[in-house]
Structure 1
Amino acid sequence: AAAGALPWRTRDGRLQVALIHRPTYDDWSWPKGKLDPGEEWQVAAVREVWEETGLRVRLGIPLPDSEYKVAGASHRKHVRYWAAEITGGSGKLQHEVDAVAWLTPEAARKRLSYDRDREQLDALVKAHRNKALDVRPFAVVRHGKALPRRKWDKDDWLRPLEPRGYREAFGLVDVLRAYGIARLLSSSATRCADTLRPYAKAAKLPLDTTYALSEEGFEKRPKKAVAAMRKHMAGSRPGAICSHGPVLPDLLSALAGDARKPGRAVLKDAAKNNLEKGEVLIAQLDRRGHIVAVERIPPD
C-alpha cells in the first residue's frame, strides 16, 4: 500500500501542479511512497510529499486511487491520492528525487511518464474548474473509548478515557496535522477534551470547550449543538470539533444538508449509523461553505 498527493498552486490565475523526477527510474510522476507500519494513508501522503519535495502540504479533496502491476512482483500496487495545498517548506529535495517541476495541467499531462497518473490530474483539473479544489477541512471527531459508566461513580461529564481511548487520542495527532487543523472545539466533558488535547499540545493550539456539545447540554437544548458547530465552521482556518454518540447524528445530518453528492450520502450514512469511538470524519468546504468531499478515518 502506498499514498501520495498532487501538490497544486495558482500563478497569475493559472493552475499549476508539481511533478517529481526520480533518477533511479528516470520517470516523472506524483510524490508517493509506501505506508510505514501502522501509518494512516493520509499521514503517509503528507510525509511522502515532504520527503520528496521539501514542501509542507495540507490535504484537500481525495483523488482517484491507482492500482497497477509492479514489474517483477506477483502483487498489484494500490496507491491513494489527495490534492494538496502548499503550506510551507523550503522546497529542498531530500529523498530519491533530483527535480521538481511546476507545470500547467497541459504540460504536466505531456510530461507524466505513466498513463495511470493522468486520471488523478483529470480529477484535479475538474475540481478546479468546478471551484471545488480550493477547500478548507473541517473535522468531526467522536471521543475515544472511555471508562464504562458502570465503573464510574462521579459526575458523568468527568468520566475519563481508558487506555485504549488515550491511544486513539494520540493517534489523532498526525491525522489532524495532515489536514492542517488550526482551531479546536470540544464538548466540555473530560473524555472529549482529552481526545483533542494531545493534538492541541502538539500543534500548540488552544482547546476551547462548550457545554452545547456535551450530552447534558444537548439533552437540554439540542439546537444549540448545531449552532455551536456552525459557528466554529464559519472560521477561515481549518477546524475540528469533538462530541458524543448521542449528539453526532444531529450534527452530521446538518452537515449533510450542506453537502454535494456523493459526500451527502456519506454524511447521511454516518448520521444514521454514527461514527465509531475515536473516528474522524473530514468534510472539505469550498469558499461558499458547501461540502464538496467527505472522508471517514476509523480509529487504529
Structure 2
Amino acid sequence: MRIPAAGTVPWRVQEGGLEVALVHRPRYDDWSWAKGKLDDDEDWAVAAVRETEEETGLVVRLGPPLPEARYTLLGRDGSPDDKVVRYWTARVTGGHGHLVNEIDEVAWLDVATAHARLDYARDRDQLLALVRLQQTERLDTWPLVLVRHASAVARNEWSRDDQLRPLTAVGRARSADLAPVLAAYGVTLAVTSPSERCLRTVEPFANAVGVPLRTRGGLSEEGFAADPTKAHRHLTRLLERGEPALVCTHGPVLPDLLDELARRLDVEKPASVEVVEAFAEARDERLVKGEALVCHVVGTGDAARVVAVERHLP
C-alpha cells in the first residue's frame, strides 16, 4: 500500500546564520521534520501546511519544493507499505507555537547541529537541498501564481453576455479545492479578470483568507483582444511589487503572460533543467482549466527570476 504524506522544513536567518526547525516525537524518541499523512482527497501542499501547524502551532508559507523521501514501513498486518513524503521549504508567517499532536519539542538549529541531530539519513537530503538553495540564491522567494479559470458553461450553451458565463458544477468544485492550495503559498494579493468564470474561480480563496479581489479589464478575453499590452503591464507591476500574488485569467491571455515569465526563468542555476521542462509543459498546454501554476520568484522588477515552478492540476 502507498502512504502519501507531506511536510515542511521551516527556515530563518538569525544573526546572519541559517537555521531550520526540527521536531521531536516522544513516541519514537526521534528528531525529524514536521510532517503527516494526507487526508482523503487532500492536496500535498495543503497537507504540508496543515501538518506543520498541527504539530508545531506555526503557520507557514510554502517556498520551493525539496526532494521527497520514500521508504518502506511494516503495516499492522505485517505487509510492507511504501511511504512517500513530499517536502517544501517554509517561512513562518504566524501561529501560537504551542506544541500539539505528538510533538514535545521544536528546536531551531543551525545547519551543522541539525544535520547531526536528525535521526534518519533520508531527512538530511532535504536539509542539504535547502542549503544548496541558499548558496545559489534560490531560497528567499515569493510566489506568483497563474490560475486559469475553472470549467464554465460552454459558449454554445450560453446566449447572454459572455463575461457573465458561469462555472459548471465541476468548475465550482474545483474552485473550492483551489482555495486551500492558494492559501498554502501565502497569497495576499489577488488580481483577476472581471469575467464571472474567473471571479468565481478564486472567490472561495479570497473569502476564506480575507483577500480582496482586484479586477482588471485587461485580463479579460475582451480586454486582451482590444489591447494585449495591458495584461503584460499588470504582470509587470506584480513583478515589481514582489508580494505573494495570484493572477486569474483566460486561455487566450495566458501565452503572453507565460512568455514573459519564460524570459525570467533562472536557467543558469543548478536544477534549471527540471524547472524549464515543467514550465514548458504548462506553457504548451496554456494551463488546463482550473490549474494553478506556482512560480517561485527571487527578486523584483527587472531582476525578478523564476527559480522553481509547481503545477497544481484539477
TM-score (norm 2): 0.93
Report matched runs for 1:45-64 at 5 Å: 45-64=48-67
145, 162, 184: which one aligns with 1:178: 184
Once the 2 structures are TM-superposed, how far is the Cα of residue 234 of structure 1 from its aligned partner?
Answer: 2.4
306, 310, 313: which one aligns with 1:291: 306
What corresponds to 2:269 in structure 1?
none
What corresponds to 2:250 in structure 1?
244
Report the more deviating stretch, 208-217 or 224-233.
224-233
Report matched runs for 1:22-33 at 5 Å: 22-33=25-36
SS in 1 for 2:167: coil
Once the 2 structures are TM-superposed, how far is the Cα of residue 73 of structure 1 from its aligned partner?
Answer: 4.1
Distance 1:73 1:203 in 2: 42
Report the more deviating stretch, 160-169 or 44-53.
160-169
10, 13, 30: which one aligns with 1:10: 13
What corresponds to 1:143 in structure 2?
149
- Answer yes or no: is 1:129 the counterpart of 2:135: yes
- Answer yes or no: is 1:44 the counterpart of 2:47: yes
Structure 2 counterpart of 1:294, one-letter code: V
Structure 2 counterpart of 1:3, one-letter code: A
58, 82, 89: which one aligns with 2:95: 89
Report the more deviating stretch, 69-78 or 125-134.
69-78
- Answer yes or no: is 1:109 the counterpart of 2:115: yes
Structure 2 counterpart of 1:22, one-letter code: R
Runs of 4+ residues deviating >3 angstroms: none
- Confirm or deny: 8 A CA contact 1:144 1:195 kept in the other structure: yes
Once the 2 structures are TM-superposed, how far is the Cα of residue 232 of structure 1 from its aligned partner?
Answer: 2.4
Distance 1:94 1:258 in 2: 41
Structure 2 counterpart of 1:249, one-letter code: P
Note closer, same or farther for the CA distance 1:90–1:140 as it changes in structure 2 (3 Å cut).
Answer: same
Once the 2 structures are TM-superposed, how far is the Cα of residue 244 of structure 1 from its aligned partner?
Answer: 0.6
Report the more deviating stretch, 143-152 or 67-76.
67-76
Structure 1: tracts of 5 or more residues without a match: none
Distance 1:105 1:210 in 2: 44
Structure 2: tracts of 5 or more residues without a match: 267-271
Distance 1:41 1:194 in 2: 23
Distance 1:73 1:289 in 2: 49
Report matched runs for 1:206-217 at 5 Å: 206-217=212-223
Identity %, equivalent residues: 47
Aligned CA-pair RMSD = 1.1
Once the 2 structures are TM-superposed, how far is the Cα of residue 42 of structure 1 from its aligned partner?
Answer: 0.2
- Answer yes or no: is 1:272 the counterpart of 2:284: yes
Aligned length, in residue pairs: 299
Report the more deviating stretch, 68-77 or 123-132.
68-77
Structure 1 counterpart of 2:38, one-letter code: L
- Answer yes or no: is 1:19 the counterpart of 2:22: yes
1:176-225 per-position Cα deviation (integer Å, ceiling 9, x unaligned): 11000000000121110111111111111211111111111122222221
